[in-house]
Amino acid sequence: MELKINVIDAFTDTTFKGNSAAVIIIEDWLSDELMQSIAVENNLSETAFVKKIEQHSYEIRWFSPITEIDFCGHATLAASFVIFKQHSDVKKIKFFAKAVGDLWVTALSNGYIEMVFPNKIPEVIHDIPLALLNGLSIKPLEVLLNDQAYFVVYETEADVLLVQQNIELIKQLAPFDVVVTARSKEYDFISRYFWPANGGYEDPVTGSIHSGLAPLWASKLNKLDLVAFQASTRGGKLLCSVKGNKVHISGKAVQYLEGKISV
């Protein structure tokens, strides 16, 4: 069986930056085992499988090389980029994912793709796991938690850039990942995302975590529209807007590869 595959760099307008995702549009679902094997073979942070439900409406599933993921922003952006490119007259589509429900996506006139995600603002915790405290080289200023990750707030962006993780300790926090974040001089805030239990050492750009980061920093900075930067080696820029129980996250994307795989 041959399947078409696209590899897209998301949250960037430059190839080799942002976060790469593979997108495979299928007519019928493959077995979970086969989709996981394809994701392992692709060895990207995510492979998105997309099945059309009806006109302009799709179901989406995301697989890292380790496991199926409940919610992935950059692979949703990558899948949207592929669909909009194939259907240039379409400007708005809807994805459905079991863990998060409906996700609306719009192709904006300025080249950005805007995704509407649920607001997943984290809550402050005081009983901080030792694996988290000992697993980061810099002591947190504040720790919060939502259903995806621990949010470690630092005093300066230098702390975010310099902090190192003990991968074996951070793995012990599964099923939760760890995002470190601070206010920024050039942007409203920056972050880095560690997810050794679910995907890899460090994710280049993580759209889904900004559904928690954006409302967190909106409350701290008293502003609803924010510019974010994920400070990985590849790096990525995200435009965020908090609107009640929804978070709008926008980014650009570029095509890297278009081809076929045999399975």
Sign of CA dihedral 110, 9, 59, 246: negative
The one-letter amino acid at 167: I
Reading the block at residue 255, the tokens are 């095509």
Cα–Cα dist 160/212, whole Å: 17
Give 3-49 as a DSSP string.
Answer: EEEEEEEES-SSTTSSEEEEEEEESSPPPHHHHHHHHHHHTSSEEEE
User: Which entry of 2, 46, 68, 258 is annotated as an active-site residue?
Assistant: 46
Catalytic residue list contains 142: no
Rounded to a whole number of angstroms, the distance between the first and last alpha carbons of the chain is 5
Give the side-chain half-sphere CA count within 13 A for 245: 2
State whether residue 71 is helix, strand or coil: coil
Instruction: Give the residue numbers marked as catalytic.
Output: 46
